[in-house]
Amino acid sequence: MRICSRICPARRTMLIALLWLAGIVGALKTMPAQVVPGVPAPAATSVIDLDAQGLKLTQVDSNWRFHAGDDARWALRDFDDTKWEVIQPRKDWTRQDYSAAEELAWFRFRLRVPAKMPAVVLQLPRIWRNYQLFADGHLIGQVGRLPPEDAPIVTPAGRLFTVPLPAVSGAGSREVQIALRLWQEAKYANVRPNVMSGRAIAGDPASLNNLFNISKRSTLLSYGSDYTQDIIGVIVGGAALLLFYLTRQRFYLWFAASIAINSVQLPFRLASEHFALTFLGNVLGYMLMDLFVLFAMTMFLLGTLQIRGWTSRIIVAVLGILGESGPLLLLLAGLPQIWADGMYLVFVTAAQGVLVGYLIRGWRRGNIDAKLLLFPYLISVVFGSLDNLGHSLVDFNVPHGGDLISSQLILFTEPFRVNFNDVGNLVSLVGLLAVLVLRFAQTSREQQRLASALQAAHDIQHRLVPVDIPSLGGLQTSIVYLAAEEVGGDFCQVLPRPDGSILVAIGDVSGKGLQAAMLGTVAVGALRAMTNENVSPALVLERLNKVLLRTENSGFITCLCLVLDDAGEVTLANAGHLSPYLNGQEVAVAAGLPLGIALDLEYEQSSFQLPAKARLTLLSDGVVEARSHSGELFGFDRTSQISQLPASAIAAKAHAFGQEDDITIITLDWSAPVAEFAPA
């Protein structure tokens, strides 16, 4: 009123008239359109003229009519949509009166096609909804299924649709009504963007088909950095497999598995974008792949650091499961995305942080593998965590929070797009490759050292078991030795003595491997040193006991020692070893304490005469203690039953039953000499 009072009366009258006229026009615009039977309804205002620019292709993704809900009439050509809201489909729909929770909604626009264009093809980009496409009320294509059918949500995929054109006479243009029926379950409202990703284009079929194919190839080429990472990943994974083959250490196999799963993600992504896979299956696929990569990397790192037990692995697995599956459950429950992004950030970063902590601890303890692995793994963790933090800051509307998202920081676009996250992944992969190359060099040196040590161990092993077996009258001796490992702890000796008798000893050193073999070598050396003295078996054991105690070795030895003369008399003493078998029957022998346990031990000895034909069998406990897959022991009964077999047959049966310890068998086949008589 203050403004009007300063205007002259004539001008005031004119202004009032103009305002009154504007009010009438506005009222007419807001009045509902009347549909007269037999007369076509007014055309929709969202008309896109394909001939306006004189080009074969026209971008048609602007000024679409939108309405929430569902009505089959909305697909018809003559339906009046002038009251519908106008929306820009390439911008966020939720900022244009489109509710994120809408399950069913429609878009409509009209194409004006010149007569010179006999056919029209419509390209729709990735639309984050299941949809049906109608032309003049006729269904011409769809992506996914829609109600009333069972309609699982699918991943978006670009598509081409041929649009049927109405018949027209003369040179006039034709119009065709396009309608899109969109569907999405409300529980996915916070999971998928409300936007059309890409351009919608209509035009000449040949030109649009050519553009669509070029776009597909361009999309494939745009993943150049991902291809590069996959190629490097294959090289690194191959190196890990080579190390597994050379060392048989399983953590290298876990690393190769993590690389393999990472390499599958790109083909999986391309397939989901092209074939419109089920959205939930797509998300679960990525979730399972991420979980497996995290678990495989955990097994690799902890195996490299030689951290035993499952506690650490279970902790990382639980954190990973919470970080991967928890956010999806929150979104499906209808909670804001800010909570899902925050949960993913906290738990996934915590899982990776546990592994980084173990690497740092290994570094401080001087573990060379931890020093080599920390830097490349830390790079991947830092870049991934910054990405997750950036998404959370964007959710909180923190200024410049998106600057932390390395995948959105583009370094260059030619010949393909590369961002900071790509660089971080490449540096991490190259670093891991360097680690494996260094590890390979170390493994090669270690293999050479072990080969030398193994050769020395085999030389020691030959000293534990005699190669040249002396003969005594009608005595035939057979020895079989089967080590449970590369080097065993059993030993045996058959040694001739100056008086014409033979000293036979069989022993079992506690433990296995090279250390047991070394102690067995000491025992063999002591036995050979006493051969020329013609001492009794009991005295042999007592002296051997003192020798072992002087070595200050923590192990002990069981040993059976006997002397067989040319008349077939056997004298023997036992230090905790298995009794021998004579023609299948166990010989009763006093069992003393094993050697190397206590000082000043004395051992009993006994004697018996061999019959004219006899087989005396000496064996180690590797025969009796052989164990089947079900846990059953071979036992003394079976041992007694096979004790009359040749040494090789006894060893074969025990080994086949289930060898767990060294097996040593000596068979002494005795035939009494025939008496010679002088002529009368």
Please spell the DSSP secondary structure of 288-339, one letter per residue.
Answer: HHHHHHHHHHHHHHHHHTT--SSHHHHHHHHHHHHHHHHHHHHHHTT--HHH
Residue 523: name the closest of 495, 483, 496, 493 by CA: 493
Least confident of 44-53, 131-140, 457-466, 655-664: 457-466
Mean pLDDT of the chain: 81
CATH number of the domain enclosing 157? 2.60.120.260
Secondary structure (3-state) at 7:
coil
Q: How many angstroms from the chain centroid is the CA of residue 271?
A: 21
pLDDT for position 640: 93
Q: Report d(CA 96, CA 85) in Å as an integer.
A: 9
Lowest mean pLDDT of 65-74, 240-249, 581-590, 628-637, name the range.
240-249
Residue 526 maps to a domain:
yes
User: Residues for the chain: how many in total?
Assistant: 680
pLDDT category of residue 605 using cuts at 50, 70 and 90: very high
Q: Is it the case that residue 449 has pLDDT exceeding 80?
A: no
Number of domains in the chain: 4
pLDDT digits (tens, 9 = 90+) for 145-171: 999 988 888 888 889 999 998 876 556
Same domain, 487 and 608: yes
Residues 482 and 519 in one domain: yes
3-state secondary structure of 110: strand
pLDDT bracket for residue 454 (50, 70, 90):
low
Comparison of pLDDT for 679 and 268, the residue scoring more = 268
Residues 270 and 419 in one domain: yes
Give the end of a domain, one of 191, 218, 245. 218
| In a domain? residue 565 | yes
Structure tokens at 270: 């391309």
Q: Tell me the percentage of the chain whose pLDDT exceeds 70.
A: 86
Task: Report how far residue 35's alpha carbon sits from residue 481's, in angstroms, rounded to the nearest whole number.
Answer: 105
Q: What local confidence, expressed as pLDDT, does residue 34 receive?
A: 34
The answer to which of 199-203, 298-302, 368-372 has the lowest mean pLDDT is: 368-372
Of 383, 414, 445, the domain-final residue: 445
- The encoded tokens of residue 335 equal 């909670």
Mean predicted confidence (pLDDT) in 282-287:
85
Spatial separation of the C-alpha atoms in residues 215 and 353, rounded to whole Å:
41
Q: Does the pLDDT value for residue 546 go beyond 70?
A: yes
Supply the pLDDT for residue 229.
Answer: 78
Sorted by sequence, the CB contacts under 8 Å of residue 282 that are 6+ apart come out as 155, 272
User: Residue 14 pLDDT > 60, yes or no?
Assistant: no
Angle between helix 635-642 and 647-658 (nearest 10)? 150
Closest CA to 615 of 572, 655, 570, 659: 570
CATH code of residue 590 = 3.60.40.10
Alpha helix positions (H), 507-599: 513-529, 537-550
Give rounded-to-5 percent helix, strand, coil for the chain. 45, 20, 35
Tell which residue, 187, 169, 160, has the closest CA to residue 57: 160
Tell me if 174 is assigned to some domain.
yes
Collapsed DSSP state (helix, strand, coil) of residue 560: strand
CA distance 634 to 480: 18
pLDDT value at 33 more than 90: no
Q: Are residues 324 and 262 in the same domain?
A: yes
Show Cβ contacts of residue 312 under 8 Å, excluding neighbours closer than 6 positions. 298, 302, 354, 358
**Would residue 680 count as lying in a domain?**
no
Pairing of strands 57-59, 201-203: antiparallel
- Considering the domain architecture, whether residues 300 and 350 belong to the same structural domain is answered as yes
Report the pLDDT value the prediction gives residue 467, as an integer from 0 to 100: 61
Instruction: Kindly state whether residues 304 and 396 are assigned to the same domain.
Output: yes
Is there a single domain that holds both residue 257 and residue 139?
A: no
| Residue in the block written with tokens 């079900």 | 630
Same domain, 156 and 200: yes
pLDDT digits (tens, 9 = 90+) for 388-408: 888 788 777 788 777 777 666
591: DSSP letter? B
Q: 417 and 538 in one domain?
A: no
Residue 9 — pLDDT band, cuts 50, 70, 90?
Answer: very low
Radius of gyration of the chain (CA): 44
Q: Which two tokens stand for residue 449?
A: 């050292």
Tokens of 294: 């995290």
pLDDT at 6 over 70: no
Which tokens sit at 582? Answer: 């004579």
Task: Give the domain extent around 19.
Answer: 1-31
Instruction: Indicate the SS3 state at residue 676.
Output: coil
Average pLDDT over residues 187-196: 79
Q: Of 218 and 670, which is predicted with more confidence?
A: 670
Within a domain: 457? no
Across 27-36, 210-219, 334-343, 418-427, least confident range? 27-36
pLDDT 10s digits, 324-382 = 888 878 877 777 777 888 888 899 889 989 999 999 988 888 888 888 888 888 888 88
**507 and 424 within one domain:** no
Highest mean pLDDT among 52-56, 182-186, 213-217, 647-651: 647-651
pLDDT of amino acid 517: 78
Q: What number is the average pLDDT over the span 597-607?
A: 90
- Whether the CB-CB separation of 481 and 490 falls below 8 Å is answered with yes
Task: Please check whether residue 67 is in contact with residue 106, taking contact to mean a CB–CB distance below 8 angstroms.
Answer: yes
Q: Are residues 21 and 109 in the same domain?
A: no
Is 92 or 33 the better-scoring residue by pLDDT? 92
Which residues are CB-neighbours of 679 under 8 A, at least 6 positions away? Answer: none
Q: Is 198 inside a domain boundary? A: yes
- Would you say residue 456 lies in a domain? no
Q: Please state which of the ranges 7-11, 246-250, 453-457, 665-669 shows the lowest mean pLDDT.
A: 7-11
Indicate whether 52 belongs to any domain: yes
Do 556 and 471 fall into the same domain? Answer: yes
The tens digit of pLDDT for each residue in 38-65 reads: 333 334 446 888 877 667 889 999 899 9
